[in-house]
Amino acid sequence: MVNQTTNMEQGIGENFRPYHLDTHREQIKNKKYVNKLTTVSAAITKYVTDGCYLATGGFGCNRIATALLHEIVRQGKKNLCFSGHTTTHDCQILVAGECFDRCDVAYIVGLEARGLSKMARKYFESGKVQTTEWSNAALAFRYKAAAMGVSFLPSKVLLGTDTFKYSAAKITICPFTGDKYAAIPALSPDVAVIHVHQADIYGNCVIRGLNNSDSDLAKASKHVIITTEQIVSNDEIRRSPWQTAIPYWSVDAVIPVPYGSYPGNMEGEYFSDERHLQEWLTAEQDETTYRAFIKKYILDTKDFYEYLQLCGGIERINQLREEELLIKRSSP
């Protein structure tokens, strides 16, 4: 049994990315109003370096940047620090490459209602990954704090639990009321990878439906790589600026990757491919089958399109579109 928390004032987890306001303010975001179109492999080569801190946008299996994640595995990136902010299939992909060795945990190793990933569990149980515990709200507050340019935010989460004990949060007292809060430290990842519905060549992004924490994450991160379902004109963005979720001055690279959230869900476009996700979970039951599966779908594919083709291509996407629009139902 883990020693249970007494009324401690400070978590003992490591803060993998201590935040300093002035350093953060001095980081140069790519403010240039230039064409940022590039390729998946070039963007990963340039911005994701071994040992860097990586965060993923979306919500585990929803609006995820699959092409970028596969490329991180393909390029064999190692020793990353990973933000496990409701990470499900995205976590599963990075585990396949054993890409990270430190993780801020809010939600890992599971795929929600689909079950647990055996290989992700094994990886975290192997001792290869150093972890610090948080919660979904805590990690979202960490992005928010960095997005706001403050070194922490007070919140009423984590208090009194082992989640607090193994976090890097501290207890703080409100100077006005004397009330107790968890002080949640700001987090500024080196790189965020985010998939969106539309972007122009400068990096202005439209997200339809749930934003999750992505506007905050883009503002908080040092570098942001965007994949988009569709490239639109800058005029299109300027016609309805209230739809811009991420502005170009936060973005470093833009790559059009239609169907890029596959096998995840893309709101209004296509539902998650539950069949493929189950195949993945099943393959994880046996080490040899698993290695062959990862080789086939990630390591031996040259890019995302080849992967999509292996999974049924546009025909499959059309079926998932029918599911998304509730024309045909084969998922719950």
Residues 132-151 binding another protein (CB under 8 A) are 133-138, 140-141, 144
> What is the longest distance spanned by two Cα atoms in the chain?
60
Cα–Cα distance between 109 and 89 in angstroms, integer? 9
Query: In this structure, are residues 57 and 205 in contact, taking their beta carbons and an 8 Å threshold?
Result: no
Q: Pick the piece of the chain touching another protein (CB under 8 A) from 125-133, 183-191, 196-204, 229-237.
A: 125-133
Q: Pick the piece of the chain touching another protein (CB under 8 A) from 175-183, 219-227, 251-259, 305-313.
A: 175-183
x/- contact string, 99-118, with another protein (CB under 8 A)? Answer: ------xxxxxxxxxxxx--
Q: Does 55 bind another protein (CB under 8 A)?
A: no
Cα–Cα distance between 117 and 90 in angstroms, integer? 11
Query: In this structure, are residues 218 and 192 in contact, taking their beta carbons and an 8 Å threshold?
Result: yes
Q: Does 166 bind another protein (CB under 8 A)?
A: yes
Q: Does 59 bind another protein (CB under 8 A)?
A: yes
Q: How far is the CB of 142 from another protein (least distance, A)?
A: 11
Cα–Cα distance between 3 and 7 in angstroms, integer? 12
Query: In this structure, are residues 80 and 100 in contact, taking their beta carbons and an 8 Å threshold?
Result: yes
Q: Which two tokens stand for residue 144?
A: 């928010």
x/- contact string, 202-221, with another protein (CB under 8 A)? Answer: -------xxxxx-xx-----
Of 244-283, binders to another protein (CB under 8 A) are 265-268, 271-272, 274
Q: Which residue has the tokens 């940047």?
A: 65
Q: How far is the CB of 198 from another protein (least distance, A)?
A: 16
Q: How far is the CB of 47 from another protein (least distance, A)?
A: 25
Cα–Cα distance between 151 and 73 in angstroms, integer? 32
